[in-house]
Amino acid sequence: MELDTIAAISTPMGEGAIAIVRLSGDDAIQIADKVYKGKQRLGEVESHTIHYGYIIDPQTGNKVEEVMVSVLRGPRTFTRENIIEINCHGGLVSVNRVLQLVLNEGARLAEPGEFTKRAFLNGRIDLSQAEGVIDLIRAKTDRAMNVALGQLDGRLSKKIKTLRQALLETVAHVEVNIDYPEYDAEEMTNQLLLEKAQFVYQEIEKLLETAAQGKILREGLATAIIGRPNVGKSSLLNSLVHENKAIVTDIPGTTRDVIEEYVNVRGVPLRLIDTAGIRETEDIVEKIGVERSRQALKAAQLILLVLNYSEELTKEDEALMEAIENMDAIIIVNKTDLEQKIDLERVKELAIDRSIVTTSLLRDEGVDELEEAIKELFFVAGIEGEDVTYVSNSRHIALLNQAKKSVQDAILAVENGMPVDMVQIDITRTWELLGEIIGDSVHESLIDQLFSQFCLGK
Ligand code: GDP
Ligand code: ZN
């Protein structure tokens, strides 16, 4: 495949000081040589080596920037093409000048995600791995990072390939039977079909079971802090945000909802919704506190309901307890440093089987217990294991659901004694659907759309 040479600024995650101009393509090294001055020409150096030198403006001969340049010859690179990485130290202005110079010399500005797209187009990674890169860029906690990394090293791909192999074997087997009917008993073919189809069905189900959790890991568990005015909602928010490293999402191009805040509570990413209401405009919020709480409830997957230990339960408290009846919630009874007025027995009755945590946010007491309760609620026993293949990408989930349906059709067809070539249609369809997850038989436009989600320079 003949592709032009692309370039973009690609700053590594978490490193602010260094900015990299990355080039990929057949002419990457020649183009870099036009603007680079060092001991050797880059065209003459060994692959996978780093070189100190200067970027010069070829028009004027002036030094623009002191740099380290990595030379990586294809195909042993991320894109399988020649790659040049120019490490600049001088901040955004000079890195932009360096980029401008390589563009002047014949490179084209890369589209978002185009480096990864090339890795895919050149066969270096499959589609689910490419999507792993997207998720990695967006990963919000270590655990989400692990899911993305797992996808990147092809854990999901391997699983999908195993399933497709099983389906292929049944198709081959059926073909033999159609061509040589005397060769095998129909009975046996049905038995084999059924076994393989059921195996695939069960494996797809297992993958889908991880989906809900995978999605939460990726997007954060939508969490609402609710309660009457003055019970300690803002204090709780502050303590969660301060105790747990707030998660930075400084990904260019992603618009961050200003009223949301992410915190990582023992591996559970919480997306605290409606925090603007809790943080600022206190006066207004206090007036409409309960009404606002009801609003927040609608969007939430986890409720943190705060009650006041030093006051009797009010009608509003009880109304909120009732409003969250069918939701995952933790009840926080705050201000235990003050004299008890609340009827804890009554709280237990209303809480049904939910965790109740007592806190004094003023004294920073009880926050550990609260975090433990959040973790326990989220990580249902057994699913925490490190080697679980989480499915977290919504495109994958949709395809898995379709594949499940179609393999189920196959199972039903066998059970109803349909002719094998009818069954085979469903099996083939399942095989195709699973193939779409790893990018076999995917539409070109779908690929473009996927890669445009990347940030520039990846
Ligand atoms: P919100 O209206 O629900 O957001 O409540 P705030 O977090 O703004 O707290 C209301 C008041 O209660 C503030 O003056 C806090 O300092 C105070 N407060 C919060 N937590 C505690 C606590 O555990 N003990 C005591 N004594 N006061 C607290
Ligand atoms: Zn408040």
- The domain defined by 6-126 folds into Gyrase A; domain 2 (3.30.1360)
- CA torsion, points 285, 287, 290, 294, in degrees to nearest 10? -60
d(CA 259, CA 434): 38
| 271-319 pLDDT tens trace | 887 665 554 444 444 444 556 666 677 778 899 999 999 999 999 899 8
Q: What is the ipTM of this complex?
A: 0.98
Backbone φ and ψ of 426, nearest 5°? -65, -40
CA-based nearest residue to 359, from 270, 235, 261: 235
Residue to mutate (ligand 1; options 285, 307, 361, 365; most atoms within 8 A of CB): 361
- The domain defined by 137-210+391-438 folds into Four Helix Bundle (Hemerythrin (Met), subunit A) (1.20.120)
- Is 80 exceeded by the pLDDT of residue 215? no
**Assigned CATH class of 222-378:** alpha beta
Kindly report the average pLDDT of the chain as a whole number: 79
pLDDT value for 373: 92
pTM of the model: 0.52
Can you tell me the mean pLDDT for 443-451? Answer: 57
CA-based nearest residue to 358, from 332, 321, 339: 332
| 373-407 pLDDT tens trace | 988 887 653 344 445 566 777 788 889 999 999 99
Say if CB 105 and CB 57 are below 8 A apart.
no
- Range from 89-98, 218-227, 239-248 carrying the lowest mean pLDDT: 239-248
Please name the residue whose Cα sits nearest to atom 16 of ligand 1. Answer: 362
Q: Does 137-210+391-438 match 222-378 in CATH topology? A: no
Pocket-forming residues, ligand 1, beta carbon under 6 Å: 227, 229-235, 278, 334-335, 337-338, 360-362
Closest ligand to the CA of 230? 1
Quick one: how far is CA 272 from the chain centroid? 18
Is 252 part of any known ligand binding site? yes
- Is 50 exceeded by the pLDDT of residue 195? yes
**Segments making up each domain of the chain, as ranges:** 6-126, 137-210+391-438, 222-378
